[in-house]
Chain A
Amino acid sequence: MKILAVDDDLLILEFLSAVFGMFGGHTLLTADSGAQALEIAAANPDIQCFLLDVQMPNMDGITLCKHLRAMPSVGRAPILMITAMSEKRYIDKAFAAGATDYINKPFEISELRSRISLVDSLIGDAGITADKIFAVRALKPKTAGQSTTLLTPFPIHDIDGVIDEVALENYLGRLTRNQLFGSSVFSFAVRRVEELYAAMSPFDFEAMIIDVAEALSECMSDHQFLMAYMGDGIYGCVTEDGWTPDTERFVDTVQLVLHHMDLHCSDGRPLKVRVSAGVSQRLTWRSGNAAVSALVEACNSAKQVAEQKEKDLDEFWFLGKTA
């Protein structure tokens, strides 16, 4: 794997070069500033992974992460942020900027090796954004005739707070109980997503998913949050500061924003999109796999609510009638 490590401390770069030399199997490029990193990234479109120190003078790692994500040649490569363990505010900002995961500094050799091996194996399979089997999909296996595109998440860029689903899972899975205290998870589902998917081109479907993400992001803009598209019309969210939405009112607000967006397919057909919210869960004293499980439960809940709402709508005219 070709990796670019960026740190303003030359000793850290020298240390990483020695460590990766010991690991073997990788080519490590180094840069001691954000500006130099961008030059190297532009000249090396085959870079497969970035290691970025968060705190650097002039251009910090978070700004650099945003710039790298905007580069077509390397913009989808995994980005691992290097940060001190206690800096949760930097971790949150890093994920919001598009980081895939983070590594603690001081470095633990075994941790560094395992994070790099994980990235390497994901890249080696089929691309990190496509092949990570998130638990939501594991719980909802693909059935015959269903297209992969409906169930498979895809990255959404340039919308505030929206990150890759792999990154959201890493974020939840890596933070400690104390760091997640006060966080909540919840999710939204596009109603009748299977019908919508069947009725439009994959391009239009992706555009619709991005538009809904934009509407959700806009409605949460007063709060600190991270959100990812999990596939199957579902969006998983993590919020901070104890905030969880009043779901009914929030969904009404989202519907209003979607209405104002006046969505259309590329062939001119108007697009009626409705969303539902699942049950939110506070992450009080939940971390690691338990926190990821809470997100899975929230996603399943949103899907169930969406299906129930549509069922209720279908049966509305028959309520009170007997055979």
Chain B
Amino acid sequence: MTMQLIEIPGLARIRERYYAAQTLRHDRLEVLLEIIRANADPFDALVEARGILHQISGTAGSLGFAELGASASKTEYLIDGHLHLGRGDPRNVTEAIDAFLEISLDFCHPTL
């Protein structure tokens, strides 16, 4: 028997709580993006942003928000490559975070 995500009891409630958590994460990422843009070597901000995106990719995908999860995962991977290997143009990282935040807005709680 194949079980669907929608069959999980209480999923709507968990998703509601997710929107609230996503709003806080989104706001923090906005702050981190500004720090990353303003600094030549924003290592700590990148590490923190990567951690937040990692959490989002795991949770969002599990709750059925595939687009958000995939975008978070892609951005996390990009930051990881930049941190570990110095790979790529730093502007690609800021653009990726920016693009992620565009998608993220749709998953933030409008009342917070």
Query: A12 near B59 (CB under 8 angstroms)?
Result: yes
Q: What is the CA–CA distance of A105 and B62 in the complex, to the nearest angstrom?
A: 7
The A1-54 residues at the B interface (CB cut-off 8 A) are 9, 11-12, 14-15, 18-19, 21-22, 53
Query: Contact: B10 with A18, CB < 8 Å?
Result: yes
Q: Does B38 contact A (CB under 8 A)?
A: no
**What count of chain B residues pass the 8 Å CB interface test?**
26
Residues from chain A with a CB closer than 8 A to the CB of B11 are 18
Q: How many contacts between A and B, using CB within 8 angstroms? A: 61
Please classify the interface of chain B as helix (H, G, I), strand (E, B), loop, or mixed, using the class held by over half of its residues. helix
Nearest Cβ in chain B — how far from A72, in angstroms? 32
Query: Does B7 lie at the interface of the complex (its beta carbon under 8 Å from any beta carbon of A)?
Result: yes
Q: Is the CB of A21 within 8 A of B58?
A: no
Find out whether the CB atom of B62 lies under 8 angstroms from the CB atom of A15.
Answer: yes
A237 to B84, CA, bound (A): 28
Known: A84-B73, A106-B69. A22 touches B62 (CB 8 A): no
User: Which partner residue on chain A sits nearest B77 by CB separation?
Assistant: A86
Q: Which of A107-115, A162-170, A179-187 contacts B (4 or more CB under 8 A)?
A: A107-115
Q: Which of A19, A106, A109 contacts B58 (CB 8 A)?
A: A106
Are B62 and A18 touching (Cβ within 8 A)? Answer: no
Q: Are B9 and A106 in contact (CB under 8 A)?
A: no
The answer for the CA separation of A19 and B6 in the assembled complex, in Å, is: 11
Please tell me if A176 contacts chain B, counting CB pairs below 8 Å. no
A55 interfacial by beta-carbon distance below 8 Å: yes
Q: A57-B51, A105-B57 are in contact. List 11 more A-B contacts (CB 8 A).
A: A9-B59, A11-B18, A14-B14, A18-B8, A22-B3, A84-B57, A105-B58, A106-B57, A106-B61, A109-B4, A109-B8
Check B55–A9 contact: CB distance below 8 A. Answer: yes
Pull 8 A–B residue pairs with CB atoms less than 8 Å apart, ordered by A: A14-B17, A15-B63, A18-B10, A55-B54, A105-B57, A105-B58, A106-B58, A110-B3
- Asked if A15 and B9 sit within 8 Å, CB to CB, the answer is no
Q: How far is the CA of A109 from the CA of B9 in the complex (A)?
A: 13
Q: Are B59 and A11 in contact (CB under 8 A)?
A: yes
B43 to chain A, nearest CB (A): 17
Chain A residues whose CB sits within 8 angstroms of the CB of B7 once the complex forms? 22
User: Which of B2, B17, B57, B77 touches A110 (beta carbons < 8 Å)?
Assistant: B2
Indicate if B60 sits at the interface (CB-CB under 8 A): yes
- Specify which chain B residues have a CB less than 8 angstroms from the CB of A105 in the assembled complex: 57-58, 61-62
CB <8 Å contact, B9 and A21: yes
Question: Once bound together, how far apart are the Cα atoms of A12 and B14, in whole Å?
Answer: 9
Q: Which of A112-163 contact B (CB under 8 A)?
A: 113
**Does B5 count as interface, using CB distance less than 8 angstroms?**
yes
Whether B31 sits at the interface, judged by CB under 8 Å, is no
Q: What are the nearest 7 A-B pairs in CB distance?
A: A106-B61, A105-B58, A106-B62, A107-B62, A109-B3, A18-B8, A18-B10
Interface centre among B2, B9, B57, B59 (most CB of A within 10 A): B59
Scoring A21, A55, A105 by chain B CB atoms within 10 A of each residue's CB, the highest score goes to A105
The answer to whether B9 touches A18 (Cβ under 8 A) is yes
User: In the bound complex, what is the Cα–Cα distance between A113 and B8 (angstroms)?
Assistant: 13
Shortest beta-carbon distance from A22 to chain B in Å: 6
A107 to chain B: which residues have CB within 8 Å?
A: 61-62
CB closest chain-B residue, reference A16 = B62
B14, B18, B69: the one within 8 Å of A18 (CB): B14
Digitize B31-63: 1 where CB-to-A-CB distance is under 8 Å, 0 elsewhere. 000000000000000000001001101111111
